[in-house]
Structure formats: C-alpha cells, structure tokens
Amino acid sequence: MAKLDEIIQWCNQTLKSHEFKDYAPNGLQIEGKSDVNKILCAVTASQDAIEAAIKQGADLLLVHHGYFWKGEPYPITGMRGKRIKSLIQHDISLAAYHLPLDSHPTLGNNAAIADLLALENIEALDPSERNPIGNIGYLKQPVSAEEFKLYVSQRLDFNAIHLPADKTSIQKIGFCTGGAQDFIGKAAEQNCDAYISGEVSERTFYEAKELNVHYYACGHHATERYGVQRLAKAISEQFDIEYSYLELNNPI
C-alpha cells in the first residue's frame, strides 16, 4: 500500500510535469481514496477503462489521455459527466500525464518507440526545446521505404499507412507519437529520411511528397500505449504495489 499524494509527487518530479505547457492538467485530475493498493493503467480514461478499474478493484486509474482539455465546455455533463461520476462514486483517483509522458527519456512513449524500432543515437527533433517532444534516431543499416513499412508495422503491431517521398533509402528517422503529423516539417528541416507519428491528415500526403520525407502513420493509440505501462511499472517498483494494463485495441 502507498499514499496517493506520495505517488503523485513522485510522478510529478520524475516526469518534470511542471516544466511543460500542455493542453490539459498533468498529474492528479480526480482525487479518490488516500491509500493505493492497485493501479490500472490505460491509454485513455474511457468508460471502458473506468469499468475495468471498478471491476479489478483499482484505487488509481493512470492514463495518458485524461480530462479537462483546453477548449472543452466547463459543465460536467453527458459522456464526461458519466465518466467522472463513475470514478467519484467508486472513490477511484484519476491521474493523467500527457506531454511529460511523451517526452521522458526512459519512461516516455517516444523512448519506447525508439527501443521497439532499435533506433540509435537519439537526439531532439527540435533542438530548441528544453524537453523535446519529438526525437530523431538512426537505423543501423539503411532500408527501402517498403521494407521500413513492413518493419514498423510488425514492431508496432499496426498496419502503418505510408505516404511516399522520393528518397530511395531510409536511415535517419524523426518520430513523435500520437497526433503529431504536422511535425513532418521539423523532420524535413533536420534532413530526416522518414518521419513517424500516430495520425495522418489529408494535407500530410502532399507535405511528405513536397518535403521529400517518407511519412508513416502508425496509430495514435498504437504509438502511445507504452508510456503508461512503463510509468505504472516504475511506480509499482518504487512503492511495491500492484498494477495492470488494459488494452482496448483502439484502431485509430
């Protein structure tokens, strides 16, 4: 058993959440019981994740995508009201870490992608950022664009969408998980051969061609299911408490 406030304090310090200007609050979003015996982690605080936390007797739901995003309406009604009501009724805390969990050099989503793809010599996609949100890595040997599509699809368990460029081989790769397709311009500035993110927009097709950077959309969910697992495992080891991960197989 561990204290909720101690877990949150450790997460905030470990992820340096105070250093990020984000689209939603990082850290504790809904406060439940003060003692935590079990954590359930998931990518998004959906109703399915909440129901699983209730069923498993979790005290803390740890996610990458939580609530209270900028631009959302203030009233807690409808779908969001039901979610929050379910958490409060069962005294379950909700903690969410967004950009800090993308960025962390060992626990983060980008770090996990680098490990899964065996990328080396990791550097910042934007060298001006204090805590880089995106990264660049290198394959040991160059491969063709089609070979790389097959590779990322297998390693990330997602049928990647490939938007082609003219480059005949790929070795220097920019990447940023989730909905960061518009960072392809930063990848072009750094002379990357390819760029990986989760989602894709119609305009990205033309940008890949005109910027001459192969683009691979590997799924918002698929690219961001690793950070929460790494963070939950680290919490479990730090505080000697149980955790589990809920995979909801979101195809987007």
Per-residue model confidence as pLDDT tens digits over 126-146 = 999 999 999 999 999 999 999
> What DSSP character marks residue 142?
E
Region for residue 196 given its phi and psi (left: phi exceeds 0; alpha: psi -120 to 50; beta: otherwise):
beta
pLDDT digits 0-9 by tens, 2-38: 999 999 999 999 999 999 999 999 999 999 999 999 9
Residues 154-174 have a mean pLDDT of 97
Residues 139-166 have a mean pLDDT of 98
Tokens of 92: 């379950």
Q: CATH classification of 109-223 is 3.30.70.870, yes or no?
A: no
- Nearest alpha carbon to residue 95 among 54, 67, 69, 75: 67
* Mean pLDDT, rounded, of the chain: 97
Residue 198, pLDDT > 90, answer: yes
Residues 99-113 have a mean pLDDT of 97
CA distance 70 to 103: 20
- Global confidence as pTM: 0.96
**Judging by DSSP bridges, how do beta strands 60-65 and 214-217 pair with one another?**
unpaired
Domain 109-223 in the same topology as domain 2-97+226-245:
yes
Class of domain 2-97+226-245: alpha beta
What pLDDT does residue 1 have? 87
Ordered by start, the domain boundaries in the chain are: 2-97+226-245, 109-223
